[in-house]
Amino acid sequence: MPTVIVESFIRAIERHDLDLALTYLAEDCDYDNVPMGSVKGRDGVRATLAPFLGMFDTIEWVTSHQVSSGSADDGVVMNERLDRFHSGERWLELPVAGLFVVRGGQITLWRDYFDKETLLSAMATLG
């Protein structure tokens, strides 16, 4: 099932293991962070995520609903999540809907939908 790949990717992000997380992505993957823009390839994902994730001591992506179709070689996963990021004494919480397309056992498309203003307002409270 493609869920194994997506959930392994998420667990690596939560452990702050970006190097491992990137191995679940195809070399030429598309990461479309819808309200913020898209990047291509593992290097683009690293450049986008490393500074952001590095701001937080704890990361939790809590999946409330998830559906998938296909196999680990050719499938799709859609989930609804609450992405939680802890820094100092504060939690930043962001409701997210995610789409992951898996081809050849790797994520070739990762698209997250969320409200940009919710993110920016929460970031402002981190000080």
Strands 25-33 and 106-113: parallel
Instruction: Identify which of 72, 68, 59 has the alpha carbon closest to the alpha carbon of residue 11.
Output: 59
Q: Which of 28, 32, 74, 83 is catalytic?
A: 83
Instruction: Tell me how far CA of residue 77 lies from CA of 3, 10, 19, 25, 67, in angstroms.
Output: 6, 12, 22, 14, 6
CA 116 to chain centre: 15
Annotated catalytic, 83? yes
* Integer Cα distance of 26 and 117 in angstroms: 30
Which is the catalytic residue, given 17, 30, 73, 112?
112
Instruction: List active site positions.
Output: 83, 112
